[in-house]
Amino acid sequence: MAWDPGEALRRQPDLTYVRHNLPPGEKGRYFRSLHAIVVDSGLDQAGRRCALTHELIHAETRDDCIPSHWLTDKYEHDIDRQAAARLISLSALISALLWTHDPDELAEELHVDAATLHVRLAHLSRAERAAIAARLTEAFNQLP
């Protein structure tokens, strides 16, 4: 089953979700003391899905990411990798790659923002890369 951040949010009735204008460059925040997630209201649907997933991962571990500058880059990148893996399953990625290799079209097809797609692609495991290569080779060999 595909990851659905909206469904994950609904399974946490004690978690408050708010869309609000955030400072430029900030997509979302998790407030541990309030057990609340704020996602920037200026994001499109794909951006909201990605920001919400990222903040839900913070909420799962009750990480307080405000102000975010005190968190290490490594930790935030790890959260980004987890969010990208949840939002983009290997099977969905392979299906999208059979249709297009254009990054913008891939992101749109996968309902994610470009940054999340980039993170997912940059952190594919060897086994995932092999599975993608095998499926794309198979599809290529079936062409007339």
Q: How confident is the model at residue 119, as a pLDDT?
A: 98
Q: Among candidates 11, 46, 16, 45, which has minimal Cα distance to 29?
A: 16
**Residues 87, 3 contacting (CB under 8 angstroms):** yes
- The Cβ of residue 110 has, within 10 Å, a number of other Cβ atoms equal to 23
pLDDT in tens, the chain (144 residues): 688 999 999 999 999 999 999 999 999 999 988 999 999 999 999 999 999 999 999 999 876 554 556 556 778 889 999 999 999 999 999 999 999 999 999 999 999 999 999 999 999 999 999 999 999 999 999 988
Q: What is the pTM of this model?
A: 0.89
pLDDT at 35: 92
DSSP 71-96: S-HHHHHHHHHHHHHHHS-HHHHHHH
Nearest Cα to 105, choosing from 144, 97, 10, 78? 97
pLDDT of residue 64: 56
**Main-chain dihedrals φ then ψ at residue 37, nearest 5 degrees:** -115, 130
pLDDT at 70: 53
For residue 57, CA distances in Å to 1, 67, 114 come to 18, 17, 19
